[in-house]
Amino acid sequence: MSAPGDFDVIVIGGGLHGCSAAYHLAAARLKPVVLEKHVVARHASSASAGGVRRLGRDPAEIPLAMASIEMWHAMRATLGDDGEFRATGQVRVAENVDELRQCEARAAQVRALGYDHEVVIDRKELRRLVPAVAEQCIGGLYTARDGYAFPFKATTAFRLKAEALGAVVKEDTRVEAIERSGERWLVTTNRGPFRAPVLVNAAGAWGAEIARMLGEEVPIEPVALMMMVSGRMPHFLDPTVGSMGRKMSFKQMQSGTVVIGGGHRGRVDPLTELTELEFQFLGESARTVAAIFPLMKHAPLVRCWAGIEGFTPDELPIIGPSKAVPGVFHSFGFCGHGFQLGPVVGSITAQLVTGGKTNLPIEPFRVDRFAGSPPQA
């Protein structure tokens, strides 16, 4: 290092993906700096519902999710902290025969791709796994080794391990300009300049802004995904529960609180980085929860919030090298399901940085796949 602002890699964004990339880069003996405009895990990485889920993923994401789940199971050994990961399984309930058929079709599709982690369960097995489920639920899909973690703690675990290995994390450091200076990138921030030959764009909902600074247009829509949490409840549930037919993600955390998500959207103001909740949709969320878990009727909802997340038109993330400029690797736009992928995508990014290639199929996530499509309104 010749000057205080000189690093091997500049990672833009201190969320789970940025911190995971920083950890994997530092583990590969590089010196990364993470530039975070606010504080680590400010948006999607602390507002996430924390599902560690392979269940129901787009086929393109399955190979990555399969690799990532092994990293979640090994997290305590690799990071010294498991981010409160609990492998209590994930279930999607079917409330009618149509939905159960969809479960069977999905399991068959996954088997045809060469995987066996998603299995159909019947009424009896569903009740063994989820005793509190409502009478009309007749079965579902189940992945045993999935689970949930505490997003803030998982992100912090990556951050602390990365720092222990020599990575530097700069909070309250906002990128103002990026320019190429010889063989290196010069990133100007409110806290001075940073230089490195390689840039990683892990800026979440703001990833497209960073890409634009590099001359690369990516259609990203900032979306506020709403969540609710209950007060501490008596222990009644282990797996994370979703639904085949309704928008619901439902899990009881270690503290006894129940975290409820499901993709209901609030309003977002990307300039102030503030969100407003749309309570009529949370009303629908409450009706769904009451229908599938009748014991929740009197459960107190103590807080609702929304995290700002970047959505792409095909609801798949952007992963891989820039197609416009050298020495830039993207990892953003995870469309509300990037939490489980955090460990593996950080590792993929480190592989790309150090060796220019990865053994996992990331072609479906290439940054230029929307080229030619109409620009976002």
Contacts to other proteins by CB under 8 A: 39-41, 46, 87-89, 128-129, 131, 144, 152-153, 156, 159-160, 171, 229-235, 238-239, 252-257, 274, 276-277, 279-280, 282-283, 286-287, 289-290, 296-305
Nearer to other proteins, 159 or 184 (CB): 159
CB of 166 to other proteins, least distance (A): 16
Going from the C-alpha of 354 to that of each of 1, 26, 306, 327, the distances in angstroms are 18, 11, 36, 11
Q: Based on CB atoms, which residue is closest to other proteins, 92 or 184?
A: 92
Minimum separation from the CB atom of position 89 to other proteins (A): 5
Nearer to other proteins, 230 or 322 (CB): 230
Minimum distance, C-beta of residue 293 to other proteins, in the bound complex (Å) = 8
Nearer to other proteins, 181 or 235 (CB): 235
- Shortest distance, CB of residue 264 to other proteins, whole angstroms? 12
Angle at 304 between CA 14 and CA 309, to 5 degrees: 35
Interatomic CA distance for residues 66 and 63, integer angstroms: 5
The count of C-alpha atoms lying within 13 angstroms of the C-alpha of 288, restricted to the half-sphere facing its C-beta, is 23
Instruction: Please enumerate in sequence order all residues whose Cβ is within 8 A of that of 371, keeping only pairs 6 or more positions apart, or say none.
Output: none
Interatomic CA distance for residues 24 and 68, integer angstroms: 13
**To the nearest whole angstrom, how small is the minimum distance from the Cβ of residue 285 to other proteins?**
8
**Chain-centre distance of CA 25, in angstroms?**
19
Strands 318-321 and 328-332: antiparallel
Question: Measured between alpha carbons, how far is 120 from 100 in angstroms, rounded to an integer?
Answer: 8
92 vs 330, which CB is nearer to other proteins?
A: 92
